[in-house]
Structure 1
Amino acid sequence: MATETHEAVASACVDSHGGAIGMPQLCAEWIPNQIFWLLITLAALFFVMSRIALPRIAAVLAERSGTITNDLAAAEELKNKATQAEAAYEQALVDARAQAQKIVAEAKAEIQAELNAELEKADAQIAVKTGESEAAIAEIRDGAVKSVTDVAKATAKELVAALGGSADAKTITAAVTARMKG
């Protein structure tokens, strides 16, 4: 009887030549057998996935998460170091500018001191030259006044003589001196 049932089931989805009629997966008599093997396959797949594949995937995900966390921490640390380096650079720049201003101020003060010393030397030389020039001018003036006085005396004496008068040297000197004073 068992062979008859088996033959009946087999004959339902197989033609007279032994070939399958249509799609064997859709044969209604084979569905319970397919469901049985489907459940066995799913159970085996679940066992393999839960015991072997999923722990490995979880380990890889945990490792990646740890790597990402470490990389983020390292990036944050590098960012902090970059911020500190930038602050140090800015401070060094401010210090360099202050030092440059100090050097410029010192150079200006030194140049001003040299300029003042040179001006004092020039003023001293000008004062010496001025004194010499004033002495020379005074000497020339004195010489000119004496020459003018002498010429005025000689001219006055000649004029008095030409006009027919006579004047002594003392009178002519007194007249020329009085006229020269104003």
Structure 2
Amino acid sequence: MASENTSTTDTEGTASHGAEGTATHGEASHGEGMAPASGEMHTSTEAAGHGGGEAGFPPFDSSTFPSQLVWLAITFGLFYYLMSKVVLPRIAQTLEQRHDRIASDLAEAERLKGETDEAIASYEQSLAEARQRANDIAKTTRERVQQSIDAERAEAEAGLAERAAEAEKHIAEVKAKALGEVDAIATDTAEALISALGGGKVTKAELSKAVSEARG
């Protein structure tokens, strides 16, 4: 134990002496020791820089993989939660609304198409009925006009026949009157001729009979 204490004391003394000597030497040569210290610091900095360069990109550092995996799991979980609870429901709602709107538009278009077809069918039926009524009216009008024409023609023909009968009657009367006057003139003429020729006396009755037989 005594030798160990002695050795320890000697060592401490030597260290103290060395430290004092070093300090004294450092103070004595302060100006001369600055340059080597700066050089050593620069060398240490370069060594540290080279050491950092050899470490590589931090995410590729295998010592940080566990923490990176933890944060990756947390980020993926948050992303999955946001996608499943916020984004995807909104997208699904938007798609459903769009699908419902498209279905509604298609139904409305189908309804309008049906109404259009019904309107076209009704228009065609009305047009056919109007054409039929027009044909009926034209036919009725033609029949009425034809009946009117026939009636007027019959009336005109009846009038003409009546006038022709009256004319024939008048002509017969004129003819009969003229013939009667001719007979009288012939009778008078014959009587005058007989008297002038001295053929004797002849009655008018005999002369009229003779003229009638001659006119035969």
TM-score, structure 1 normalization: 0.70
2:216 is the counterpart of 1:178: no
Q: Distance in 2 between matches of 1:142 and 1:76?
A: 96
Q: Please tell me the residue identity of whatever aligns with 2:72.
A: L
* Map 1:42-53 → 2, pairs under 5 A: 42-53=76-87
Q: Does 1:30 align with 2:64?
A: no
Aligned pairs (5 A) from 1:137-156:
137-156=171-190
Conserved 8 A contact 1:153-1:172: yes
Q: Distance in 2 between matches of 1:167 and 1:122?
A: 58
Q: Partner amino acid for 1:139?
A: E
Instruction: Give the Cα separation in 2 of the matches to 1:63 and 1:13.
Output: 57
1:129 has 2:170 as partner: no
Q: Percent identity?
A: 32
Structure in which a larger fraction of residues adopt helix: 2
Figure out how many residues of one structure are paired with residues of the other and give that number: 163
**Which 5+ residue runs of structure 1 have no aligned equivalent?**
1-6, 15-26
Change beyond 3 A, Cα 1:129–1:10: farther
Q: Which residue does 2:118 correspond to in 1? A: 84
Which of 141, 146, 157 is equivalent to 1:112? 146
Deviation of 1:126 after TM superposition, in Å, equals 2.6
Write the mapping of 1:54-73 to structure 2, written as runs, cut at 5 A: 54-73=88-107
Structure-2 change in CA distance of 1:13 and 1:70 (3 Å): farther
Alignment of 1:92-103 (within 5 A): 92-103=126-137
CA radius of gyration, larger in: 2
Deviations 1:50-80 (A, max 9, x none): 2211110111011101110111111112111
RMSD over aligned CA atoms reads 3.3
Q: CA deviation at 1:94?
A: 1.1
**TM-score (ref. length: structure 2):** 0.61
**Whole-Å Cα distance in 2 between the matches of residues 59 and 132 of structure 1?**
106
TM-superposed deviation, 1:127: 3.4
Preserved CA contact (<8 Å) 1:9 1:29: no
